[in-house]
Each structure stands twice: as structure tokens, then as C-alpha cells.
Structure 1
Amino acid sequence: MSASVYSISPSTNFKGNDGNWSTFTIQVGTPPTFLEVLPATSGRSIWVVHPQGCEFSDQPDGCQDARGGIFSPVAEVSSTWSNIGDANQFYDLNFGPEEPLNSALPTNSTYAGASVLGTDLVTFGSDGGSDAPELRLQFVAAYAERVPYLGVLGLSAFNETPINRNEPYSSPLGAWNSTDRVSSAYYGYTAGAHYRTEDDRLGSLVFGGYDASRRDLGRVVTVPFGAANTNRSLALTVQGITLTDISQAQAIDMQPLANVLIDSVVPEIWLPETICNSFETAFGLVWNSTARMYLVSDDQHNRLTTRNASVTFSLARNSTANSTAITLPYAALAPFAGYPLLEPVTNDATLQLRYFPLKRAESTNQYYLGRTFLQEAYLAVDYDREEFYVSPAKFGSGEPSLQQVYSPGRDNGPSGLRGGAIAGIVVGALAALALAGALGWWFGFKKHRQERRRRKSKSYGGTSSIGGTTIEAWQEGIPPGHVEHYKPAMSEVGSDQDQLKQELDATATARGSAAFHRHELSAGTIRRVSDQSRASISPLENRRSHYRSGSYGVPLPPSADQLGAPSPPLPGSEHPSPPLSSGTSWFGGPVELHGFSRGSPASPSTPAIEEVPPIQEGSQPADRNTLNHLEGSNA
């Protein structure tokens, strides 16, 4: 599957107990349960409302719809649900980025709570089409707390570790990125603006890229991730704040605020109390210390609407870098608060009051730009490059324009590979080539060695014999001829004609011309023994003398006495064998010759010599001197 970019379609509904927020639909389980959730810029998982979240005795009617739907984490409801940990135990929700705010909140609205954990099938979008992005075995937490009021869709690429730090679970973006279903660990998000009239006032959420039609690309500020604490990766600097109404624009006298966190789980904007005092003066706001919020009366609301009030934030990576300006009109700052946020001031669970979404921070780690801010801002986060981008959101730009973002090292194309994957492929290919080369060398060497052995075996004869068996022997390159049959019992020979030739009669041992073989002259027998094969073969084939093979070493050249001397005469002929020359040796090759006269008659105990074919025409006859020498020897 090629990497893609996923645009998650928003629902058409605005919901919330702390404002009107554009929701997104997800389907959890089998069969699916449809739920409306809000994106969480720092969240790492999916949180859904447990049925117990609508079982409070003081809650108003219509809880399930108001909270975006509920999900029961049991196999009876979803056949694909699987518990993590003890199914009867509740586990703390990960409110890491929001926990610093609890000291400044009423006890009924702190960021804390427990949940049932498990994995299930999650499909994104309400259409349920075959092309709808989905995640199997996705980590899901079902919680019953009243904060957050709507379920949560975590956008971060960081893993969740709900029970054990050594057992991480992938976030939705992390899961898609690790399986190359998106081209990068990147998302783009704007919360939507219910107060606008444009068709694209709904929220926009894209994984693996961004929607260029909702982002002002000419006014982007780039900010590197914050410190090692991943809960505060999306922190930047607020260089200045300007409050404007119909009469004037007033820049607040302030020092730049560093480490201000963008977090859409938090609905409000949290600033130092001194800056909040400037808001109070400019807009006539009154702090309610019981509810710990700025409640706005109808008269105040009408006046601020008439005066066209607005707030502009100048944002940058640090106090001196170039900045971008995000302006929030008063309509973005006039939400309603409902149950249970108003419990400190009323027992009426159905009551809703308008409030100004500004909170007093009590410490430097409580500076936040929450969901209110993201109504007019577009946030894009690149986890591969460890930086994020903030720009004004755009409205009324027409059809979506999805832009796919590729991680570093990945080709800008749907079939591109990451740099690590390419490196892995190259290393694997080189290793495969090296292995193939080694195997090729080994098999080639083995084949060559076997061929050498075969040639040696063929050169020194195909069959050996002991005691009267037939020895078939021929040299490589010389066609097979007649075979001599040997009878070893020489003592049984009693004929006078079976006397040994004088030149072969010896009782002493002599060495042949090869330094590495031994020749013996014993009782009229010439025996040459191979140091390796120990086989004996006939030296005569087709009237040719055997040549020496160099397989066992370099043979010594024949002596001067041997050169030109005739070999023993051939049977049935008065002609001697061809004389020895420097290129041939009668003693060459592993041969054994019993020393009977080749003219002696055959007997059961003497060699039986088969008829040898006549010399072919064109053969060179022995010279006269050789014949005279032979005849003189036999006289």
C-alpha cells in the first residue's frame, strides 16, 4: 500500500459543555459504535465515554447525545474488543500536558480520572466506505469522568504507555506512520468556527499533510519542539498581545511569555494574572472567584459585540524571532458554559452561562493557548523534523486542497521510500551479492576440485585388479585397446619357453626414473607401485607407450642410457616397441608388467595376451639400428 494523506471529514455538529466545537466522527468496535470526538493536539490515544459517564444522578437529560455517544468496552458489545490489563480495574488517564492546571481549577473540573483500557477496530469518518481510514487493534480508553465532556482523538505521533513504560501503544498517527500508510508523521488541524457563516467553518483535520485552503501559507511561523518533555513539545513564545475595540487598539504592556503550550484539550487561554488585569480593564470583565472564570452578562456581551472587540497574539519561536499574528474576534471569545462547570455557582444542571475563555495562571507552567485559540489558527505539526507551524486559519477558500508532506529521505511520490528503508535495501542487496559471490566461488572451487580428481582417476586407469582379475587401463586421450589378463602364480610355469628374458632377470631392487615412485625387479617381475592409488595397469595399448602424467609431481627425465633404447618386443612380432624419447617413458605411469617373454605360449599361469591390431598405415617403423640391437639381445 502506498503512503497517502488522510483528510478526516468533520461531522456537521458543534457540541460541548464549554463552547460550540466542531466534532469529528469515529467508529469503534464490531459492529461499529458511532462517536463524536474532539481532536487533542497533545493527546496520544483515543478516549471514548464509558456508559457510566451518563449515570450521574444530577445530570441533565440527553447525556449520551450531549457527550457525543457512549461506548461499552465489552466483548458482548464489540466482538473485536480486547482488554488491556485487568478488565475489572480502572487505570488513570494520561493528562500529562494538562495536569499543571489542576491547582487553579475547581475540584469538579480537574484533569484527572480513570478508565478501562483495551484495543479495538477504529474507523475514521461517518461514511464507512471501503476507502475510509481504519486502525485495527488500536488502543482505546473508555472513561466515565465528566472532564473532558466529549471524547478525545489524540493527534500526537508519540506512543502511549498506559500501564507499563516498557509496553507502548501507538497513537493513530504513529500507527499509520509506522506502517507507511501516511507519508510522514505530520498533521494539520484547525478547530473550526461556529460563529462564521462560510461553508468551510467546520473544523479541518489532515494526517500526513495539511489543507492549503485552510492555512495562510504567507504568514507561517516555524517553531522547533520544546524541551525533552514531550508533553510540552508544542510550546512557543507570545511576544505581545493587542486588545482592540472600535475606538482603539491597545497593546498590553508585557514581557514576552515563553513556554506557552498549544493544547486543544484545554478550552481556554491561560495567561498571567497581570495580563488578565489588562483584559479586565479593556473589556470590562469581572473575575468570579467561586467558578474561577470570567462570567459575561448579556449587557457586557452586547457592548463587546457592538464595539467589535478582538484580541491579537503575536507568536514566534522566541522573543526576538519573526512573528505571526493570530486575531480572535469577540465572537470567538463568547462561548457558553454548562453542566457540570457551573456547579460551584448553581444547582441547576440545565443552566448555561456565557463566559470569556480566559483563565488566570498561577505559575509559569500554566500558560496555555487552548481550543479557543485554534478557532482562528491553523496548527501543523511535523514529528519527523521535530517542529511545528502556526499561521492564521483561512475561511471561504473553496474546495479543500490537500498537500502531502514527506518525511526526510522519502521520495516525493506515492511509492517513495524512507532513507532508512533505502539504506536497509542497499545493505541487504550488498549482503546478498556478497553471499552469492561466496557461494559461487565455493561451488566453482568444489567443481574444479572434483574435475581434477576425475581427470586424475581417468588418467591412471578406470579399473584395477588383484590376483587374476582383468585390469582395464588406458590413458586420457588414448583410445581403449586390448587388455592383458594376468595370472600371478609364476611358480607353476614349467616350460622352458617360459624362461625370463635376460634383461628382465634380476633379484635386486632398482629405482625407476620417477623420484616419487618405486620400481622393483624381483624374480623377473617389473612392478611399479603408485604411492597414491596402489593400482597396477598394463603399459601396452595400441602399440603405444604410456606417457607420464604430471598429476603427482614433475617426473624426472629419462637417463641418457634410456633415451633411444628399445622397449621390449611386441608379442608375435620381431620388431621392438618404439624407442624411448624425451617425451615418453616406458616406466612412466602407474604400471605393472609381469616379466614373461611376450612370445611365450599362453598357459593357465602365464599372461594371456590378446591379439593386438596391426600398426595403422602411416605409422613410423622402428629404425634398423633398433632392430639389430633387439635381435642381438635375443640371440
Structure 2
Amino acid sequence: MSNSTAPAPVAFSSSQKFLGNDGKWSTFVVRVGTPEQNFEVLPASGMGEILVPHVQGCDESDPSDCGKRRGVFLFGGEQSKGLQQNRSSTWALIGLFDLGLRSDLGYNVNASYGRDTVGLMIQNSGGPTVENATIASIASKKFYTGLFGLGLQPANFTDFAYPQPSLMRKLRDENRIPSLSYGYTAGAYYKVPKVLGSLTLGGYDASRFEVNNMKFPFDPDDSRPLSLKVQRISGVNESGRQPSTFTLLDLETTFQVDFAVPHLWLPLNTCDRFAERFGLIYEKNTGLYRVNETSHAALLEQNPKFTIGFGATSNPAERVNIELPYAAFDLEAEHPIYPNSTRYFPIRRANETSKYTLGRTFMQEAYIITDFERGHFSLHQAQFPETTAKQQIIPILPPDILSNSTTNIPKASGQKGLGSGPIAGITVGVAIVLMACLVLLLILYRRHRAIAQNQDKGEPYAWMPELHDTEKEKPEIQGEGVHEMKGNDIEMAGVPLCELEGNGLELDGTNLEEILGEEVGNRDERHGEQVDGTHSRVD
């Protein structure tokens, strides 16, 4: 792709809706099959496929609007309950396999897999369409809404000799995005007005985060690449004349960022500190911390703010701090978790270090930029611009494209290029640089001639200025070795001075118990493409 046009990033428009039974989350729309069936989905970092509810996922015990609650659109003029595989002429069945997504946290479910056409965003929106994408449909309500996989791990099945590429890989291979990268923040239902989520494939939205220079390398464990060290979790009560601070975690601990799940899975003693300080009620049957009206009123009065400090060392100057207000934790759970809407605090007890996870709750106040081709990611404090503010979509170009001066980099969707003023300024600047080069060459030529003439006269270096006890400073005509010139949507690496380069199978008979069944095997997922991970077939 180094000699071809780099595509613009995909600014994945939000559905403008919030959905969920464990909180209100800003969703995105995907289209599946022929004719298209629409679903609201949430981004997920730990998988590479599309996941949507199965048509058998709603039964008589569910509310009458179960399908709508799970993000399923109308289909054929009627409210659908889930993916109807037999009504898509392009559906190709793979089989029933374990999902293999965070089974360590209790999300052990089975999925009906197949391949079909997938489109991003609603019809006639201009979103890309991909054929033969891997799709998982589940009846289990452990993942209540659908998921949009952002990982690179291919789907490997025990009956297949070759892996099925992830959706991100297909988009990259088909030249739909400039690189294997994305930027994401979950949005915030609690803001006034509500702030929608932001997802950019192949780039990021610079208007949605505060800039910092910290980058974190992918974890050596390829099954959890977005892992990093948390040095401290603390809080402050901002009510009263003297705000009080408190510590919730003060030992270096490794967490993974995984927004396929909603909660923060924390060490047991950290959960205990939260519960004791804020009067949270732990329920063993749900595993959740419930908040009664008394505790909720106290939390609103105290208005605590929580800070999570990330960094490889304990030096506070080398940390990225993400702050979250109590409003980000003030969530409600609904059917089928509770029969009625119930307020809860979204922390979970993790009894093993491998379970420590920062989920979607965290991403309400954080922005993540993930660059698979360079093997690192960054975390930023999210910003909440006015609803009328324009996006600032910036592409992340692959390493090979950055070194090729002939590559044409187009504008991202909805962005304007450089105006006539900046273009004129750039032209004048280049002309000045070229003139400076010519002057330097002329000076060097004359000095060379002077040396030759003086040597003939027996006066070597007579042309040089006199040096005394200390050498005089030379005037600087060059700045840093690389200069950056940024437009609205592209970054241009500068060049050193004087080195300017030119130029259908029907599944209605599938046993519901099998689709709802527990996990029957493990799936080894990797973001690297040399790993042979597998789904285990459900017989």
C-alpha cells in the first residue's frame, strides 16, 4: 500500500442512542446479511468478530420489547428479537462454538457462528461494507447487547485448517482504513447534555481527549495486549471546606483495559475500601455492590472524584492520571439482573490478578488510542466538546507510508484541508529554505576559494575569525532535526534543511439449551497472526 492512496479513517458515527441493562452506553450500528438486519452494538477490545443477539434470545420470561432492549431493529416491518440467519441469502453457517470471551469473569457462553456481509453505520450513511465477515450470534443475556470487535485475533475453529480474519484486518486488507488502529471513548450519559461515544477506525478524534506523551507497549501476553501498570487509585471528597483525600489502592498492580465488559474488576481489599467508605452493599447472588437511597444521598453530597494513576514507575511525574466523578459510577441494573431498575456501584471482586480489568465504566472518562502496527497504545483524559463542535479526525498512518513521499493522503470525512493562507505560507517557507541553502553553498564556495588562495600565499586559514580563550558560539540556522506541520486532519513530518524531496442455512431448529449453554472449551486469542487459536465446537 506504500505506492497507493491511503484511505481516510472511518469516523464511525454513533447511533445517537444509549442502551444497556447494566448502565446506559452509547451504541453504534452494524448491518448484517442480505437483506440487511440492523443492530446496535458496543465496541469491544478483546475480540475480532461481530457479536449480535440470536433470534432465540428472547423468550416468554422477557419483557415484550426484549429485542428492542437488546439493540435489535425492526426487520420486515416487525420488531425482531435477534439475528434471523435463515432470512439472509448470504449467510454461510460455520457451527456452534464457545465464544471464549472473558470466560474467566463468568461470561462463558456459546455462539452460533457464520459468515455474512457486514456494513458499518445505518443504510445510506456511506459506511464501508465487508463480505464474508465472521459473525457470532448468542441467545445468552450475559452479553445483553451486541459487540463490535476491535481486536486483531482471527477466529479459529476446530474444524477449520485456516483462520478467519478479524473485521479490522479485513478493513485494512481491503484498503478501507489507513492502518490497524483506532481511537475510542464510551461517551457519558450523565453529562448535561448527554455526550455520545466516539469511535474512529484507522485514526482518532483529536477533539475528544487531552494530549499527553505517554505510550504503553503491548503486553507480552498477546491474549491481553492492552495491559499496563496502575500505581495508585485514590479519591477526594469535594464537599465541605476541607476536601478529604483517601487511598483505595497503593500498590503497583497490572490491569487490562477491556471495554467488552462494563465493570471495574478490582483487588478484594480495594473493593472492601470502596464498600466501607461509601456504604455499599455486596450481594453474592449477583456479585454486584448495591447502593441504597441513604448511601446514594451521601455520595451525592460528598461528590467524590476518583483518580487512577498509570505508569511504569512510582514517579508521579511519569504517570497518566484519569479522573472519574461519582456520576460515572452512578449506574442502574435492570432485567434480567434485577426485576426492577436498581442502583449499583460498578466494581467487581477479582480473586486473581489476571482478572484485574478496567471496563466500559472507565472508558466514559478515558480516551484510548491503539496502534497495532507500532505495538503500543495511549490513554488520555476524555474531553466533552459542545454537541455542535466539529470532529478533528486524524489518520494514523502505517510506518511504511510515512517514509514514502509519493503517497497521497486524502482528507478524513467531514474535514477541511489547508486553506489558501496556510498553503501560501508553506510556499513562502519552502522558498526561504531554498534561498538559505543557495546562500550557504555560495559562502562555502567562496571560503573554499579563499583557503586555496591563502595556501598559495603561505597563509593557511587566514580567512577564519580569530578565536580567543573560549570558542565563540556559532549562530544557529537550524532548529530540531524534525519539524512538524499539522493541518486539520494530517500530520506532515518535516525534512532536514536543504533536503527537500520532490515529488443460509436455517438454524431455527437449533437447540436453545446449546446456544445458552456454558463454556465447553477455551479459545486462544492473539493479536498476532501466527497464533493458531481455536473455538471449541459444541456438539
Q: TM-score, normalised by structure 1?
A: 0.59
Partner of 2:216: 223
Q: Could you tell me how far 1:249 is from its partner in structure 2?
A: 3.8
C-alpha distance in 2, partners of 1:177/1:137? Answer: 15
Deviations 1:532-584 (A, max 9, x none): xxxxxxxxxxxxxxxxxxxxxxxxxxxxxxxxxxxxxxxxxxxxxxxxxxxxx
Residues 590-605 of structure 1 mapped to structure 2, 5 A cutoff: none
Contact 1:409 1:417 in 2 (8 A): no
Q: Which residue matches 1:240?
A: 232
Give the structure with the larger strand fraction. Answer: 2
| Deviation digits for residues 276-311 of structure 1 (CA, Å, limit 9, x no counterpart) | 222123322222233221101122212211221221
> How many residues align structurally?
391
Secondary structure of 2:328 counterpart: helix
1:71–1:10 Cα change, 3 Å: same
Pick from 353, 357, 368 the counterpart of residue 357 of structure 2: 368
1:306 aligns to what SS in structure 2? helix
Q: In structure 1, what is the equivalent of residue 62 of structure 2? A: 59
1:394 matches 2:387:
no
Query: Residue in 1 aligned with 2:457?
Result: none
- Answer yes or no: is the 8 Å Cα contact 1:53–1:145 preserved in 2: yes
CA-to-aligned-CA distance 1:23-47 (integer Å, 9 cap, x gap): 1011111111111011101121001
Q: Which segment is superposed worse, 313-322 or 154-163?
A: 313-322
Q: Secondary structure at the match of 2:223?
A: helix
* Partner Cα separation in structure 2 for residue 5 and residue 266 of structure 1: 26
Tell me the equivalent position of 2:119.
Answer: 123
Match of 2:335? 339
Of 45, 48, 55, 2:52 maps to 48
Partner SS state of residue 35, structure 2: coil
2:71 alignment counterpart:
68
- Mapping 1:421-432, distance limit 5 Å: none
Aligned to 1:425: none
2-structure distance, mates of 1:387, 1:213: 21
CA distances 1:494-552 after superposition (whole Å, capped 9, x unpaired): xxxxxxxxxxxxxxxxxxxxxxxxxxxxxxxxxxxxxxxxxxxxxxxxxxxxxxxxxxx
* Aligned residue runs from structure 1 range 464-503, under 5 A: none
Q: Matches of residues 81-96 of structure 1 in structure 2 within 5 Å?
A: 81-85=91-95, 90-95=96-101
Give the structure-2-normalised TM-score: 0.69
| Structure 2 counterpart of 1:492 | none
What amino acid maps onto 1:234 in structure 2? Answer: L
Q: Is the CA contact 1:260–1:368 (under 8 Å) kept in the aligned structure 2? A: yes
Deviation of residue 341 (structure 1)?
Answer: 1.9
| Distance in 2, Cα, partners of 1:220 & 1:296 | 38
Three-state SS of the structure 2 residue aligned to 1:230 is coil
Counterpart position of 2:30: 26
- Secondary structure of 2:399's match? coil
| Counterpart check, 1:207 vs 2:213 | no
Residue 84 of structure 1 aligns with an amino acid whose one-letter code is I
User: What runs of 5+ residues in structure 1 fail to find an aligned partner?
Assistant: 103-110, 343-348, 419-635
How far residue 415 of structure 1 moved from its aligned partner, in angstroms, is 7.1
Deviation of 1:202 (Å): 0.2
What do the CA deviations read for 1:396-425 (whole angstroms, capped 9, x no partner)? 25211000011112137897399xxxxxxx
1:32-65: CA deviations, max 9, x gaps? 111101110112100111111112x322221000
Q: Cα–Cα, structure 1 residues 338 and 413, in superposed 2: closer, same or farther, change >3 Å?
A: farther
Judge conservation of contact 2:248–2:274 (CA < 8 Å) in 1: no
Query: Is the alpha carbon distance of 1:328 and 1:64 closer, same or farther for their aligned partners in structure 2, counting shifts above 3 Å?
Result: same
Counterpart secondary structure, 2:104 = helix
For 2:50, give the aligned amino acid. Answer: I
Q: What is the alpha-carbon distance in structure 2 between the residues aligned to residue 42 and residue 210 of structure 1?
A: 19
- The one-letter code sitting in structure 1 at the alignment partner of 2:190 is Y
- The 5-angstrom pairing of residues 4-19 of structure 1 reads 4-19=8-23
Q: CA deviation at 1:165?
A: 7.1
Distance 1:363 1:332 in 2: 25
Report the Cα offset of residue 164 of structure 1. Answer: 5.1
Aligned-residue offset at 1:73: 4.5
**Is the 2:214–2:378 Cα contact (8 Å) retained in structure 1?**
yes
Return 5+ residue gaps in structure 2 as ranges. 73-80, 410-539
Q: Secondary structure at the match of 2:401?
A: coil
RMSD between superposed Cα atoms in Å: 2.2
Q: Which amino acid aligns with 1:10?
A: S
Instruction: Report which stretch shifted further, 385-394 or 57-66.
Output: 57-66
Please name the residue that 2:324 is paired with: 328
1:130-152, CA deviations, whole angstroms, 9 ceiling, x for partnerless residues? Answer: x3211111111111111100011
The residue correspondences of 1:64-463 to structure 2 (distance < 5 A) are 64-69=67-72, 70-75=81-86, 77-85=87-95, 90-95=96-101, 98-102=102-106, 111-129=107-125, 131-163=126-158, 166-198=161-193, 201-217=195-211, 219-227=212-220, 229-245=221-237, 246-247=239-240, 248-252=243-247, 254-320=249-315, 322-342=318-338, 349=339, 351-396=340-385, 398-411=389-402, 416=407
Contact kept, 8 Å, 1:210 with 1:403, in 2: the verdict is: yes
Higher RCO structure (Cα 8 Å, ≥6 apart): 2
Q: Is the 8 A contact 1:4 1:414 kept in 2?
A: no
Q: Is the 8 A contact 1:237 1:317 kept in 2?
A: yes
Letter in 2 for 1:79: S
Distance 1:295 1:120 in 2: 41
- Matched residues in 2 for 1:126 and 1:250: separation? 46
Please state whether the residue corresponding to 1:79 is helix, strand or coil: coil
CA 21–415 in structure 1, closer or farther in 2 if over 3 Å, else same: farther
Instruction: From the superposition, tell whether residues 417 and 94 of structure 1 become closer, same or farther in structure 2 (CA, over 3 Å).
Output: farther
CA change 1:412–1:164 in 2 (3 A) is: farther
What CA deviation, in whole Å up to 9, does each residue of 1:175-198 have, x standing for no partner?
111233211100001011001124
AA partner of residue 137 (structure 1): N
Q: Distance in 1 between matches of 2:46 and 2:405?
A: 28
